[in-house]
Chain A
Amino acid sequence: MQIVVAGLSHKTAELALREKLSLFSQEEIARKIKDSPIADVVFLSTCNRFEVYACGFKDGADGPEVLLRFFEGLIGKNPDKEDLYLYSGLEAVEHLLKVASGLDSLVVGETEILGQVKEAYEWAKKEGFTGKIGNILFQRALFVGKKVRSETGISVGQTSVASVAVELAQSIFGRLSESSVLVLGAGQMAELMVRHLSSQKTQKIMVSNRTRDRAETLAQNFKASVLPWENRAEALQEVDIVLASTGAPEAVLTKEMVEKSLKNRRGRSLFMVDIAMPRDIEEAVHTLEHVYLYRLEDLEHIVAKNLEGRASEIQKAKEIIDSKTAEMDEWLKALKEGRELSFKHSNRPKMRRIEASQNKGVVNEK
């Protein structure tokens, strides 16, 4: 009964090494684990980390040693000390809670990792890898991951320019399924933003570029339609979101054009994002009612502030993690003595309640 984690992440290892590990399929790794003395185990493989959490070892094998050898087998050579980290006991518990809470992520507080932990655990459970301690440990980790995100501001605010733009669009229109998008220019940045927007099931995307071919390429990727360049001003009447990133030397949307389109918009807001340099959209349109123009530096400013905000919440998150680690410690000690404690806020009913309320929220919001 010894909790050990070994792994490598974006903080310790080079991309090349992480990629090498991520090439293994789940089944391959599962087979390798079965062949090793590792028991009660969950392994987590994402593009940023590869970790093996083990809570027991067959025949009283030495945990850290076993895991080191396991990684050696995967990588094919003795892993560098700097690449690999190894925690055991409470440190391992704390590490898992941190990972689940997004404290160990590249972007602090990102939410994807929680889903990845959940998937990894559920897969391991389904395949019969987990035992009693592993089950409790991971259920606690998922619970703490949710708790930290709901009780601290660690996941508040988007952290990339494109996602900030999408979030702003949502702050203006709510769900974007009734909103159309007009994309001016067909550069890389535009593509990134369109990818984010189309993941929100926008109603319609139109691409307009001075050279039609590039517009068509972009349009094909996103099931968008191509709009002739000279029709861009009329299109303002029907779209809600405008993304501008052309290389034009002067503004391609003037205040006059926007003002004219407003007459037929019946007061619906118009969200314009200008990431071009020099600018594509006249700054003066921001003074018009119902028009919100964000420039690249505005978005970057928000990203910087959001990151700052998340960083300032790390301490609060750590406090929660500390107290939950201590709870886990007590539970493990009691288990050693043959007793089984129930957690003060037993995770199961509570998780169910959180999930229930979230589900309800989803149903209501749809």
Chain B
Amino acid sequence: MSLELITIKMTLAVYSAATALSFVYLAYKDEKWNRWMLNLLGIGIALHLLSFAFRIHSFWQISENRYFLPINTFFGALSYLALAVCAIFFIIESRHRLGILGAFVLPWASLSLGVAVFVASPEISGLVPALQSYWINIHPMVLMSAYAAFGNAFGVGLALLVQEHQIKSRKPIALCYRLPSIEELDNLNYRIIAAAFPILTIGIIMGGVWAENAWGRFWGWDPKETWALITALVYAGYLHMRYLMGLRGKKAIYVSMVGFACVVFTFAGVNFLSELHGYLSKG
């Protein structure tokens, strides 16, 4: 087994442990679980970066791939996505001290990396000519960072639904007092989306510029492009509804979750529709 695979499996183990601890912390009010979860998360992120370094090293061996980042395959993309979800959660946690939300966010990172390790092929292959562009170092990264942020917003939305249900039920359990308030969760969900939305559209525009350079058109209604546009439309709808129509709480969360469903479909589902953007196709 290569060093890359060993480290990525260790990363998966550490992320899973951090996820498990986040649930323990949810169930038991004891700050030590939170501390351990964050420590593990930090270790996981470091291991993940190390694994990426190994991957870049073996990617470099193919001369055509030099100076390009290895996220052309499903494996590379999922792995980067998991890293971004964890890193963004780490930042949100350290700024707002919301470790309690770990149980709503970290499972998606573990899931993403788990699919990468157990389903996707970690094999490294040469880049097809269309991908041999400096844009490959920017365009997918930017988009997937936005996806990861939306993943975090999705977790926050789940927490809001739980909290709302608790309070509506009139019989809140202790968790209710430890989760952030409805208004705070709603605001956090909005702020993450408001921060990620420009990144999403910038990523789409970069893709257009790349496509203009590689394929001779800025926009070609390729399924991947189209779905990215749909995702942006849904989130734009969310922002308008929240800002101009005062849509808040549960219904706003549902709209943002439709957006996240589009993200997931754009990222994974479209591979079955798109010839140009498939991780497995010749690009």
Contacts and interface: CB of A to CB of B under 8 A. Distances in A.
A153 B167 CA distance: 20
A361 B182 contact: no
A32 to B, nearest CB: 42
Nearest to A262: B246
Contacts of A302: 171-172
A365 B170 CA distance: 27
Given A153-B29, A267-B248, A289-B249, A171 B171 contact: no
A156 B29 contact: yes
Given A172-B167, A364-B96, A266 B246 contact: yes
Interface in B74-113: 95-97
Contacts of B31: 150, 357
A153 B171 CA distance: 18
Contact of A157 (B177, B184, B247): B177
A181 to B, nearest CB: 15
A301 interface: yes
Interface in B206-245: 242
Contacts of B177: 156-157, 167, 170-171
B261 to A, nearest CB: 22
Contacts of A171: 163, 166-167, 172, 176-177, 179, 181-182
A174 interface: yes
A244 B145 CA distance: 48
B246 A265 contact: yes
Contacts of B184: 174
Interface stretch (A205-213, A290-298, A325-333, A336-344): A290-298
Contacts of A157: 174, 177
Given A267-B252, A289-B249, A172 B174 contact: no
A303 B174 CA distance: 12
Given A150-B30, A361-B97, A268 B248 contact: yes
B191 interface: no
B183 A268 contact: yes
Interface string B149-184: 000000000000001001110111010110111111
Nearest to B170: A298
B66 interface: no
Nearest to B187: A174
A168 interface: yes
Contacts of B97: 360-361, 364-365
Interface string A270-311: 000000000000000010011010100010011001000100
Interface residues of B, number: 31
Contacts, number: 77
A309 B171 contact: no
B282 interface: no
A72 interface: no
B57 interface: no
A170 B250 contact: no
Nearest to A168: B167
Nearest to B244: A266
B183 A266 contact: no
A168 B171 CA distance: 11
A170 B184 CA distance: 10
A273 to B, nearest CB: 12
A87 interface: no
A364 B242 CA distance: 26
Nearest to B250: A289
A123 interface: no
Nearest to A295: B170
A305 B169 CA distance: 15
Contact of B248 (A266, A286, A357, A365): A266
A91 B97 CA distance: 39
B185 to A, nearest CB: 9
A268 B172 CA distance: 20
Contacts of B167: 168, 171-172, 292
A50 interface: no
B183 A173 contact: yes
Given A171-B179, A268-B183, A364 B95 contact: yes
B221 to A, nearest CB: 35
5 contacts: A156-B177, A157-B177, A171-B163, A174-B183, A289-B251
- List the 8 closest A-B pairs by CB distance, nearest first: A267-B248, A266-B246, A174-B181, A174-B184, A267-B246, A298-B170, A172-B182, A173-B183
Given A172-B183, A289-B251, A360-B97, 14 more contacts: A150-B29, A156-B177, A171-B172, A174-B183, A174-B184, A265-B246, A266-B246, A266-B248, A267-B247, A269-B248, A286-B168, A286-B170, A309-B174, A364-B97
